[in-house]
Amino acid sequence: MKYKIQELTQKNLQKIWEGNFPRCNYTKEEIQYIFELRLFQYAAGRVYDSNFPNLITSSYRKKSKQFQRLLLGVYGIPFKLSPFRSGLSSKRANEKGASTTADHIIGVTLAGQFIKRHLDQLVDNKYQDSSSKKLKEAIEHMSNDFLPKHLWLWATCRITKEEHKSNNLLRGDLAPRGIEPIKYKANFMHYDDAKLKIKVEAYK
């Protein structure tokens, strides 16, 4: 099943992945290198945890959303997927003279957690050796298969500063009861639920 964000960003993100997008001069290999490096840095931290009692590491890991937020949700790729690169804007933000800002649609915390969970699943959440064959294969799979299909995790949309206010738009990695957070954000349901509803269209 494709999310709405995939459908709206697919054309631009495919060009970026192939190195054919204006003012985004990164090769596929450069994008993959940075992503693989971030995954390895996360894995190395988990391996290091094995040197300490669970009482210590479990307390830290429960609070580690901020760590994944930056490492994977912000710095997982070597550039920002600006609204121009993502090709997305709200209808109001497309109007001449509008005061605008970039909104990370999925959110860096949720994006980081989503990526982390995929790697954890591939290695059965076991991080004993950073040089293990299983970890190496998992990172390669994430780089070759997961990454090109999930660049939208870093996509942003140009919206007005009024639309972006915290009392208008739901933030963080939460979603209404019964709805998967990724599905909620990737289908712009939080834009639909905003007090000042946000209509997404092509960046102009």
**Boundaries of every domain in the chain:** 4-202
What is the rounded CA–CA span in Å between residue 188 and residue 152?
13
Q: Which residue has the tokens 């971030």?
A: 38
Residue 179 has pLDDT above 70, yes or no: yes
State both tokens at 19: 């190195």
Q: Which residue has the tokens 């957690």?
A: 113
Please state whether the predicted TM-score (pTM) of the whole model is above 0.75: yes
* pLDDT tens-digit series, residues 118-160: 999 999 999 988 889 999 999 999 999 999 999 999 999 999 9
Nearest CA to 31 among 55, 52, 14, 54?
Answer: 14
- Report the largest interatomic distance among the alpha carbons of the chain, rounded to a whole angstrom: 58
Residue 16 has pLDDT above 90, yes or no: yes
Total residue count of the chain as it appears in this document? 204
Please report the pLDDT score of residue 52 as a whole number.
87
Cβ-count burial of 97 within 10 angstroms (0-12 exposed, 13-18 middle, 19+ buried)?
exposed
